[in-house]
Chains A and B, each alone.
Chain A
């Protein structure tokens, strides 16, 4: 798997790379979820002694649920975007070929008879282009939300390290969970930033009309 996106990469390759980045995130997100479950168990075991860090264990659990949902959503949107992109590419190609007939063979006796088909091909191209844009914006939003979620995860992890509580034994357990969470969140953040880069490349290529 590639983590660096060359600015010259193909649009479809860039989109496939996003899907690949997210695939690798999937496994790690389960670690976040495990951290959430462990945090809840620790909190339950600690009983009254764990009252001080209960808000933190609850936050960890909440973040883990959010992360699983988020990655799921991002994956399916990335897949959708790849599919739309193929349609878009095909419709642009068709439009260019039809349009070249209209330009090159303007003197053909029956050239006007192709107009309805050209119009349909053009409409199809515009629809797929706007669908692509919509999906692209949606994916960007999902990536941003997920990034925020991971930022919160890291913040919670660092707070949990300094939380004071009477139960030293439970605090140590919580520190292990927090470290796991921090590691997973920073890995996911890295993958998200790679995905961003691929997405920016797609945007740049589109603006150049490639």
Chain B
């Protein structure tokens, strides 16, 4: 599992992914961690298969009991099916996730971790000196769904929004936006169910100052490419897979 610091000024953002040992038939995922002082937030920690490489990679950066918080943007297996294992690794941690999914997520096995339900309108979390926000992203694609915004680092962790399906050795950042479109188009058309929800999200996110948009699959959008993505996504017709 490769770990890359994508931000390191006072606090850090580390991206984990591009795992060369990942089983071939599971979708490649990006996991993220914010380290602020002696606390760390693990975001969309991934499926059961990536648990061991993730834990190993994390222990190069923080002590296990410094991971005080976990965030799961929604309920998907590639996001959080590792929960039953994290529950044993981080028994004192809190899981921040949509209130809607609590009863479902507990099926992954949660005996120790505390469920911190995020209300529909979103909420905030303070990690040491850092305040981060859970931004609503309902129906993108899950009916209860949030993204993480860090106003200091100007990073939006955008879950499945901005996802691209590509090889595990793909570069970390989008270089040529137009070239990147074909890798995202089918995913967004098929997985995002509602134009209304999508446009509502685009409007909300346009109000944020974003330097990096970091999705759970594919590459990170930087600077101008964030704006390009928002324009492209706004114009895209989604939820149209009915034959």
Contact = CB atoms under 8 A, between A and B. Distances in A.
B64 A117 contact: yes
B115 interface: no
A114 B84 contact: no
A19 to B, nearest CB: 22
A20 to B, nearest CB: 25
Contacts of B59: 101, 105, 108-111, 113-114
* Max chain A C-beta neighbours (<10 A), residue from B48, B56, B61, B64: B56
Interface string B70-84: 000000000000001
Contacts of A105: 55-57, 59-60
A121 B109 CA distance: 14
Interface residues of A, number: 18
Given A110-B64, A113-B59, A114-B64, A104 B89 contact: no
B170 interface: no
Contacts, number: 56
Interface of B is mostly: helix
B52 interface: yes
A117 B59 CA distance: 13
Interface residues of B, number: 21
Interface in A101-145: 101, 104-105, 108-111, 113-114, 117, 120-121, 124
A69 interface: no
Given A100-B52, A104-B52, A114-B55, A94 B85 contact: yes
A170 interface: no
Interface of B: 48, 51-53, 55-57, 59-65, 84-85, 88-91, 109
Interface of A: 90, 94, 97-98, 100-101, 104-105, 108-111, 113-114, 117, 120-121, 124
